[in-house]
Structure 1
Amino acid sequence: MNPVLPQVFAASFSRFGDILAVTDPDSSLTYSQLADRAEAVSAWMAGHGGGEGRTRVGIYATNSTDYVAAYVGAIFAGAVPFLVDSAFGPFELSRIAEDCSLDLLIHAPDAEVSSLTEEPLSHGGELGALAAHRLRSHASPRLPLLDTTEVCRFTSGSTGRPNCIEFSGEAVHAAAANWAKGTALGAEDRIACLAALSNGLAFNTSLLAAFLSGASLHLSRGLPTASRVVRLLERTEATRLVAFPALYESMVRRGSGAGFEMVGAAISSGAPLRGSVREEFTRLTGVPVHNYYGVAEAGPLTFATDGIGAGLGTPLPGVQLLADEIGIRVRSESMGSRYLNAAGVFEDRVDSQGFYHTGDQGRLEPDGLHLTGRTGRMVNVGGRKIDPLEVTEVLREVPGVLDAVVFEYENRHGEPTLAAVVSAGPGTATPELRKHCSRVLPTFKVPSIFHVTDEIPANSIGKPSVQRLRRLLDDALSN
């Protein structure tokens, strides 16, 4: 089967020529220059391929123009890029390399990769500031890719092994094209992207979507502090901001709307954005926050065009969405094909009509989709099923509470219990939290363990990190 993405990228590069395509704090590339860089990467890769079938290239780095050139260069070379979250540690990276039989790894020069690499690969600047290694072979069999697979991405890996999602070129193209159409992305847009390109928020809304439209993509490095974001917006005169909820919360804490004069829309996804934060951000900056709902396996699904209501918006082009007692099910043109390293798991979530069961619960209202919980993550405590999201929303009602996460935790006797970690301002104490929950919830839904902290630990995509939350409780309860 003829690959789709090489022609798609080449057409955009040819069409938009000398228009600015992508920048980072240290460099910028026009569409023509990006084409030249990608062709150079492709030629370099042709001389360093390996393994059976198409070369499998892991890209393990933070956002940069070099990252984009490496990604497109791999596509031009007929290789399959595997976009690995740079927040993954050596353990997760080694499991990915083994599960997916990666041949090459393009990475940040300071990345800890010695435990899984075989030899460094020299280059004459084709990869810019990035480095490359050939990976060690593994005893496990090399799982075959589908013939249509052109890009692979990963679930967050918060539990178990990160699942590797195979995407056809048609699905990647559809995700970008339908996003551009459904959100009216145009050549005049300048996108300030604060999410990692390996994550669906950036991958679907900013990478190929920007280039299909002739827009410019502006990338940041380092921790996205409020001041750094403002400098990026001012330097690029960005018209769109793409970021996780934590960034908008940071801007609200900053208490100033300066620097947002050119921004017409802010886009949020990855974790729920509280209505109070969204409203305060818009009050400070004058910029509406457009919620977006997507899942890694099915691509971008909804978009709130008005940026006013609390809903997650209506389905994007190419998306069919059902929300009923079974849960939220979707069928999209941007859907992945399967998990490479988890046979049958993806397929089991797709029904006979081709709808993928997201595991989320929700309802469709006039302003769009509203999430209400999860179908598969109920906590069982003492034989009673509890939805952690319900308890979380009750805790967020307490004055002074900034955020909360509720989850199952083993007490000192090894029994499952309900725990709540709450970030709050000074003066908020456990007795107040427990009393409020007791007033609102049945006794069995009141957490047995409360812990108040300054900030909820999050993973690289802005979602609470349950592993770090468990360690936080372990440390707190052992003292």
Structure 2
Amino acid sequence: MTVLDQVLTEHFARHRDAALVADTRGVLTGAELAGAAGRFAAEAAAWWNGTGATRRDGRVRVLVSAANSAAYVAAYAGILDAGAVPFLIDPALGGDEFSSVVESCGIDVVLHDRDLPATARPGARTELGGFRLTEVAGGPRPQLLAGTEVCRFTSGTSGTPNCIEFSGTAVRNAAVAWKEATALEPADRVLCFAGLFNGLAYNTSLLASILAGACLWLPSGLPSAGHVTRFLRELAPTRLVGFPALYEALLRKEGEVPELAGVRVALSSAAPLSEQTAQDLLRRHGLAVSNYYGIAEAGPLTFDPAPTPEGGLGLPLPGVRFRLDDGEIKVRSESMGSRYLNVPGAFERKVGADGFYATADEGFFDDQGSLHLRGRVGKALNIAGRKLDGEEIRRVVLDAGCADAVVFADRKNNGDPVLVAVVAGAGAPDERALRSWCHARLAAHKVPERFVRVEAIPRTSLGKLRMAAVQELFHEAIATSPAR
């Protein structure tokens, strides 16, 4: 029995009569989760034994590509119970990214609730636990570490997502630290709009809630203001978990949202929640949001039990140690991943001999010990020997009426660097107007030489920029535009 299988078995029994996981289709108690997981494990193992998937190296690799649901949690527990390894991935991944993950990680089976991308090469299929199981032909099979029990992925903002191997001990440590630091209790009702594949939900809501005996609610659908308000009204949650888009949607709703009064802890992560948004939420709704700090490779790292809009990202969680090297945040945690399965050596290069992981984030700690971020290491743009702040230029471009924008350095055909901006939004001015606007507000050397307008800036489902896709759109646009 693995660490996580043992932990789940123990706590399903401990909270056998408590409602642990729920969605719009029903509620599962600890006893019901244990039963559903056991049935899934037995039937899944019988099926993939028949397909031959277990003959590769004994541990079947199951790529879980599905939306949040109580059945997802039961299947996750069942995969672990069957001795297989779940690989939790964003179900919104594009076909090329999906196929790259299957190939580079040696995936055997996909558990999914929607059609597979056209790029998949499906084999045998069955249905189980409300999902489809499909055998796939993975590529060369990199060896998993002996202690690996779960794999999760980076957001893939600059290409194929990196597959992070986690030991069961690391996952358990993250959940225990979060439960203790945030005082998660059996009486808590956690309303989680973040995908369980993402650290925001995985580390703060899944195992932590089961350990505490709290009820985890997993609604489906986009977190529009009306959708969120309806669940707030019906469930009266004590904790709300979501990305900044959820909180921004609440601000777009006219009038008060009295249902927020019972929320004791509101969590946001991934893309930054702006200070202005945090101030408006506190002023209009009395909602203080903890914009905590966590990274995929090292787990949850900070928490602020009494957040303020300008108060930073909170204090270190138990078992977390920080160090600043010339402003760069380095961290060591008891919930750290082991390595990248599909990118040999890349993870190890980020970890020093002392075990501290280099995050590439810049930051500082205030007098109260709360962490604040400044930006990313090495993200200054260098154009003709001048270092520019791309975020400063982006803010000016956005103020011109663009809904979204990215500013970055590219190369001309002759190899010279060029400052460019890709903008989106129905209200975005044309190139001439944008250039004039920027000239009136920035030094001449800070004005982008090229502006390209697109329908939408490519982002992940978490709101993170997909830089490789942005650059591709830019190159396509200039290739088809009239010569200048």
The answer on whether the counterparts of 2:403 and 2:428 sit within 8 Å (CA) in structure 1 is: no
How well do the aligned residues superpose, as a CA RMSD in angstroms? Answer: 2.7
2:229 equivalent to 1:230: yes
The answer on whether the counterparts of 1:187 and 1:215 sit within 8 Å (CA) in structure 2 is: yes
Distance 1:157 1:434, change over 3 A: same
> 2:172 is matched with which residue?
173
> 1:459 is matched with which residue?
460
The answer on whether the counterparts of 2:279 and 2:309 sit within 8 Å (CA) in structure 1 is: no
> 1:10 is matched with which residue?
9
Moved more, 23-32 or 354-363: 23-32
2:382 pairs, out of 380, 383, 392, with 380
> 2:335 is matched with which residue?
334
- Deviation (angstroms), 1:68: 0.9
Q: Distance in 2 between matches of 1:234 and 1:411?
A: 55
2:420 equivalent to 1:419: yes
- Deviation (angstroms), 1:63: 0.8
Q: 1:194-228 CA distances to partner (integer Å, 9 max, x unpaired)? A: 11111111111111111111111111222222211
- Deviation (angstroms), 1:304: 2.4
Alignment of 1:223-262 (within 5 A): 223-258=222-257, 259-262=259-262
Moved more, 438-447 or 90-99: 438-447
Q: 1:75-125 CA distances to partner (integer Å, 9 max, x unpaired)? A: 1111110001111122111111111111111101433367322111244xx
2:228 equivalent to 1:213: no
- Deviation (angstroms), 1:456: 5.1
Q: Distance in 1 between matches of 2:285 and 2:18?
A: 29
Q: 1:335-387 CA distances to partner (integer Å, 9 max, x unpaired)? A: 00001111111011111111000011111113511111211444333344434
Gaps of 5+ in 1: none
The residue matched to 2:459 in structure 1 has which SS?
Answer: coil
The answer on whether the counterparts of 1:373 and 1:387 sit within 8 Å (CA) in structure 2 is: no
> 2:304 is matched with which residue?
304
Q: Distance in 1 between matches of 2:256 and 2:425?
A: 23
2:59 pairs, out of 44, 49, 54, with 54
- What TM-score, normalized to structure 1? 0.90
Q: 1:29-85 CA distances to partner (integer Å, 9 max, x unpaired)? A: 112111111111111122124221211111011111111111111111111100011
- Deviation (angstroms), 1:285: 1.8
The residue matched to 1:28 in structure 2 has which SS?
Answer: strand
Kindly provide the amino acid, as one letter, of the partner of residue 264 in structure 1.
R
Number of aligned residues:
471
Alignment of 1:62-461 (within 5 A): 62-112=67-117, 115-123=120-128, 127-128=129-130, 130-138=131-139, 140=140, 142-258=141-257, 259-310=259-310, 311-325=312-326, 327-366=328-367, 368-392=370-394, 398=399, 404-409=405-410, 416-421=417-422, 442-450=443-451, 457-461=458-462
- Deviation (angstroms), 1:330: 0.3
> 2:43 is matched with which residue?
44
Q: Distance in 1 between matches of 2:409 and 2:282?
A: 35
- Deviation (angstroms), 1:393: 5.1
The residue matched to 1:250 in structure 2 has which SS?
Answer: helix
Q: Distance in 2 between matches of 1:327 and 1:83?
A: 29
Q: Distance in 2 between matches of 1:291 and 1:30?
A: 31
Identity %: 44
- What TM-score, normalized to structure 2? 0.89
Kindly provide the amino acid, as one letter, of the partner of residue 148 in structure 1.
G
Q: Distance in 2 between matches of 1:423 and 1:274?
A: 20
- Deviation (angstroms), 1:421: 4.5
Moved more, 364-373 or 264-273: 364-373
Q: Distance in 1 between matches of 2:89 and 2:3?
A: 22
- Deviation (angstroms), 1:23: 1.4
Q: Distance in 2 between matches of 1:471 and 1:255?
A: 39
The residue matched to 1:282 in structure 2 has which SS?
Answer: helix
- Deviation (angstroms), 1:408: 3.1
